[in-house]
Amino acid sequence: MKIVCSKSNLVKGVGIVSKAVPSKTTMPILECILIDASLDVIKLTANDMELGIETCIEGEIIEHGIIALNAKIFSEIVRKLPDSDVIIDVSSDNQTLIICEKAKFNIAAQSGEDFSYLPAIEKEDSITVSEFTLKEVIRQTIFSIADNDTNKMMTGELFEISDNMLKVVSLDGHRISIRNIELKESYGPRKVIVPGKTLQEISKIISGEAEAEVEISFTKNHIVFEFGNTVVVSRLIEGEYFRIEQMLSSDYETKVRVNKRELLDCIDRATLLIKEGDKKPIIINIGDESMELKIKSQIGSMDEEITITKEGKDLLIGFNPKFLIDALRVIEDEEVGLYFMNAKAPCFIKDEQQSYIYLILPVNFNAVA
């Protein structure tokens, strides 16, 4: 095999597929990036058996062939080459010569025939969203997935399609994030659980342009994202997602309208007094026209008042400040609505159309009040 392509194309392609190279594996072939120039395109592929990414790059194929190169070594070499055309020349014994200007690397490779290709997917049905929408939806929900495997369901996000609506849900046992997106067309009902790792990697790869589109296809066990020259195939998490409907009450005893930026900045300031790992709640005292926020730790204490519009009862309630910050940071509205039932019930942050809903459980603060 012999190909020529620009360093920039190679760096971009390698950067995309590297996200599917496993950090630990007992199969050395999975530590490789496959370069497939057996047909008329140069295709790069990586696959950790849960997530597979394939992308095509522009370049010239002088001699057709296929080779698997160690991803870590190959990506480091490519990144540090001069900004010029790169020649990749593979001999019959799989020795691979990488030449760029005066730089020459000769590395051992593995036969491409041993590589685990992406599964052949018979797409059952698909939806189309803009890259911008997908990137935003991931950003606005991914922070509330669980980061450990004690409950596999919590490490993924629910994608639920009903008519022309896509609902994306994540939860970690302390909070729930929901985004409802209106699609351009109506589709048949579908519920799948997508691994959080897959969504995090996709959000890094896609540009987020409003005009660019992503086709999302589903099968029984896989989800496929296609955009530009790239295909991402991921296994789904099997099982039934949590029934969250019964947690989403529309009743409230107290409703607060507040400037989002003021509230976010205030909580952000309060966290200056919390050491990492400390579980100090922020205590919110809701009165008629103002909301007092207090925090107390070994470092010191802080309290601040914010002007609000309130309907309903006064309330004293405590929260993990990080959970409030995570939700407020991803909301674009200038003003937010906070809905409370009592000091032991969840707080809802949502808009009138319920395009976003953030549910946050309160914490017991008697010991620190």
Both 284 and 299 in one domain: the answer is: yes
Q: Which residues contact 363 (CB under 8 A, 6 or more apart)?
A: 279, 281, 318, 319, 320
Both 92 and 187 in one domain: the answer is: no
| Residue 29 falls inside a structural domain | yes
Both 141 and 223 in one domain: the answer is: yes
Both 164 and 90 in one domain: the answer is: no
Q: What is the pLDDT of residue 116?
A: 84
Both 241 and 256 in one domain: the answer is: no
CATH (domain of 260): 3.10.150.10
Both 110 and 136 in one domain: the answer is: no
| Residue 328 falls inside a structural domain | yes
The rounded distance, in Å, linking the Cα atoms of 100 and 217 is: 39
Of 60, 85, 114, the domain-final residue: 114
Per-residue pLDDT of the chain (369 residues), as tens digits, is 999 999 999 999 999 999 999 988 889 999 999 999 999 999 999 999 999 999 999 999 999 999 999 999 999 999 999 999 999 999 999 999 999 999 999 999 999 998 988 888 887 789 999 999 999 999 999 999 998 777 899 999 999 999 999 999 999 999 999 999 999 999 999 999 999 999 999 999 999 999 999 999 998 899 999 999 999 999 999 999 999 998 898 899 999 999 999 999 999 999 999 988 788 999 999 999 999 999 999 999 999 999 999 999 999 999 999 999 999 999 999 999 999 999 999 999 999 999 999 999 999 876 444
Both 136 and 240 in one domain: the answer is: yes
Both 316 and 346 in one domain: the answer is: yes
According to the 3-state scheme, what is the secondary structure of the chain? CEEEEEHHHHHHHHHHHHHHCCCCCCCHHHHEEEEECCCCCEEEEEECCCEEEEEEECCEEEECCEEEEEHHHHHHHHHHCCCCEEEEEECCCCEEEEEECCEEEEEECEEHHHCCCCCCCCCCEEEEEEHHHHHHHHHCCHHHCCCCCCCHHHHEEEEEEEEEEEEEEEECCCEEEEEEEEEEEEEEEEEEEEEHHHHHHHHHHCCCCCCCEEEEEECCCEEEEEECCEEEEEECCCCCCCCCHHHCCCCCCEEEEEEHHHHHHHHHHHHHHCCCCCCCCEEEEECCCEEEEEEECCCCEEEEEEECEEEECCEEEEECHHHHHHHHHHCCCCEEEEEECCCCCCEEEECCCCCEEEEECCECCCCCC
HSE (CB half, 13 Å, CA atoms) of 214?
Answer: 26
| Residue 85 falls inside a structural domain | yes
Both 291 and 255 in one domain: the answer is: yes
Both 233 and 253 in one domain: the answer is: no
Q: What is the pLDDT of residue 369?
A: 42
| Residue 197 falls inside a structural domain | yes
Tell me the CA end-to-end span of the chain in Å, nearest whole number: 70
| Residue 367 falls inside a structural domain | no
If one counts the domains in the chain, the total is 3
| Residue 82 falls inside a structural domain | yes
Both 129 and 100 in one domain: the answer is: no
Domain containing residue 263: 248-360
Q: What is the pLDDT of residue 367?
A: 46
**R_g (Cα) of the chain, nearest Å:** 25
Output the pTM of the full model: 0.93
Q: What is the pLDDT of residue 118?
A: 86
| Residue 119 falls inside a structural domain | no
Measured in degrees and rounded to the nearest 5, phi and psi for residue 276 equal: -60, 135
| Residue 369 falls inside a structural domain | no
Both 262 and 232 in one domain: the answer is: no
Of 212, 230, 245, the domain-final residue: 245
Of 198, 222, 245, the domain-final residue: 245
